[in-house]
Amino acid sequence: MKLLEVGQIGNHRLQNKMVMSAMTRSRANVQGVVSDLTVLYYTQRAGAGLILTEAINISNDAIGSPFTPGIFTQDQINAWKKVTTAVHEKGSLIFAQLWHTGRVGHSIDRNGKLPLAPSAIPIEGSKHFTSQGLQDFEIPQAMTIEDINQTKLDYKQAALNAIEAGFDGVELHGANGYLPNQFLAESSNQRQDNYGGNIENNCRFMLEVMQTLIDAISGDRVGIKLSPFQPYGGIVIKDPVATFKYLIDELNKMDFAFVELMKKSPMFPAPEHYPSDDEIELFGKNVKADLIANSAFTRETGEKELEKGIAKAISYGVLFLSNPDLPKRFELNAEMNQLDPSTMFGGGEKGYIDYPFLS
């Protein structure tokens, strides 16, 4: 199987072409520090060629949900060191996914401070999970230029902290309706300065953050996740094809390791004006960096995707969550453990480190 062959992403040699994608698990403590359970969770899944961690808050201002980890205090850095050391001892690589949630947050879990966003536009039609239960989304605080500049500095420091913690690199979370994605979308960005008003300006923040990360830790340690047609978080882009073609053309001028390209989820129907094209076919062929294809792949569809020659690796989420020995199961074409959705977010060992291995 191509999935089980040795792979290469940027300058990094992978023991196979299977990547564990980022999945929020909400198992950190209230200070954003991960525990020894998290060390075991990632160590169990170190059969992956590359692990992309759950999204990690880059600063206090970045926090959107309770019990999510950070990488902006020394205690947080020290805790992640245990994870990276254990994963490396098992022969895998691990990148930290850097996260700023933007308007996908609530003041309840932000010490009373409203979330920051490109514009003061709330998410409508859904509620947000907080430490006090589901709540309506609040009207976020529109970011000033000072806020934008500080956020770029926060990304830089988080990347440096990740390297200190032993990570092989970082992935910018530019997908799924979080802050960089919010700048791309007219539904969340109605600015009329250099960070809004047209495609070039809407892409500026994400491109500047990417360059900041590259300058801070070198491009071979940097990747980015994109979700062109994913409307999660109230993201509606007027012309998503033109926006992402421009964004990818500009990213191609930079030297970095990979783009993880996420296909749209049937769980979140796209707006009517969005095309039905396959994102890997439409955008992936134009990506200069190595491409990781993401979202709802199986053993069979992942293999077929690699055979097309566009993607260098396939990232798996839920399958890795419920099958810590996923590469071995693919090798043997073995039966899969089934996910327990009730244990995905929050809790302890159950549904986290107790999914069985093949005997």
Catalytic residue among 42, 155, 178, 355: 178
The count of other CB atoms within 10 Å of the CB of residue 191 is 17
**From the centroid of its chain, how far is CA 148?**
20
The count of other CB atoms within 10 Å of the CB of residue 302 is 24
Checking phi first, is residue 133 left (phi over 0); if not, alpha (psi -120 to 50) or beta?
left
Alpha-carbon distance 44 to 358, whole Å?
12
Residue tagged 């809407």 (tokens): 202
Please say if 178 is a catalytic residue. yes
Checking phi first, is residue 234 left (phi over 0); if not, alpha (psi -120 to 50) or beta?
left
Helix-helix angle 240-251:199-217, to 10 degrees: 30
First to last CA, the chain: 22
Closest by CA position to 224, among listed 186, 192, 262: 262
Residue tagged 């792949």 (tokens): 297
Alpha-carbon distance 312 to 302, whole Å?
11
Q: Catalytic positions, please?
A: 178
